[in-house]
Chains A and B, each alone.
Chain A
Amino acid sequence: MKVFVQAAWAIFWKDVRAEFRTKDIITGMLLFALLAVLIFNFAFELRVENVRQVLPGVLWVAIAFASILGLNRSFVLEQDRGSLEGILLAPVDRSALYFGKMMGNLVFMLAVEVVLLPVMVVLFNVNVFHPVVLLFVFLGTLGFAIVGTVFAAMAVNTRAREVMLPVLLLPVMVPVLIAAVKGAANVLDGASLSDVTNWLKLLVVFDVIFLAVAFMTFDYVVEE
Chain B
Amino acid sequence: MDRNRWTWFEGLALFAAVMMVINLYMGLIRAPDPVNLQTEVTRKAQHIFYYHMGMNVMAGLGLTLNFLSSVVYLITRRRFWDMLARSAAEIGVVFGVGVIVSGSLWARPTWNTWWTWDPRLTTATITVLLYIAYLMLRNAVEDPNRRARFAAVYGTFAYISVPITFMSIRWWRTIHPTVFGGSNPEAQGAFTLGPTIRQAFMFSMITFTIVFVTYIVLRMRYAHLEERVTALREQILLKLSHSAEAEPVKGGRP
Asked if B126 and A168 sit within 8 Å, CB to CB, the answer is no
Residues of A183-217 at the interface with B, using a CB-CB cut-off of 8 Å, are 198-199, 202, 205-206, 209-210, 213, 217
Residues of A within 8 A of B154 (CB): 151, 154, 168
Which of B74, B150, B165, B167 lies at the interface centre, i.e. has the most chain A CB atoms within 10 A of its CB? B150
Which of A172, A174, A179, A205 makes the CB contact (< 8 A) with B157?
Answer: A172
Range of interface residues on A (Cβ < 8 Å): 20 to 34
Q: Per DSSP, are chain B's interface residues mostly helix, strand or loop, or mixed?
A: helix
Decide yes or no: A168 and B133 within 8 Å by CB, A154-B154, A210-B160, A213-B156 being known contacts: yes
Give CA–CA (A205, B146) in the complex, Å: 30
Distance (whole angstroms) from the CB of B86 to the closest CB of chain A: 16
Which single member of A164, A205, A223 contacts B137 (CB below 8 Å)? Answer: A164
**Contacting pair B140 A159 (CB below 8 A):** yes
Task: Give which listed residue, A150, A164, A206, A209, contacts B153 with CB less than 8 A.
Answer: A150
B157 touches A147 (CB 8 A): yes
CB pair B165–A174 under 8 Å, yes or no, is yes
Number of interface residues of B (CB under 8 A): 26
A175 near B164 with CB under 8 A, answer: yes
The proximity string for B residues 128-156 relative to A, scoring 1 for CB distances below 8 Å and 0 otherwise, is: 01100100110011100010011011101
Residues of chain B lying within 8 A (CB to CB) of residue A147: 157
- Does A221 belong to the interface (CB within 8 Å)? yes
Does B158 have its Cβ within 8 Å of any Cβ on chain A? yes
Contact B136 A167 (CB under 8 A): yes
Judge whether A127 is part of the interface by a CB distance below 8 angstroms: no
- The CA of A174 and the CA of B119, in the complex, are separated in Å by 12
A159 to chain B: closest residue by CB = B140
Neighbour of B140 across the interface among A164, A172, A217, CB < 8 A: A164
Interchain nearest-CB distance for A42 vs B (Å): 24
A172 to B137, CA, bound (A): 14
Q: Is B116 an interface residue, CB under 8 A from the partner? A: no
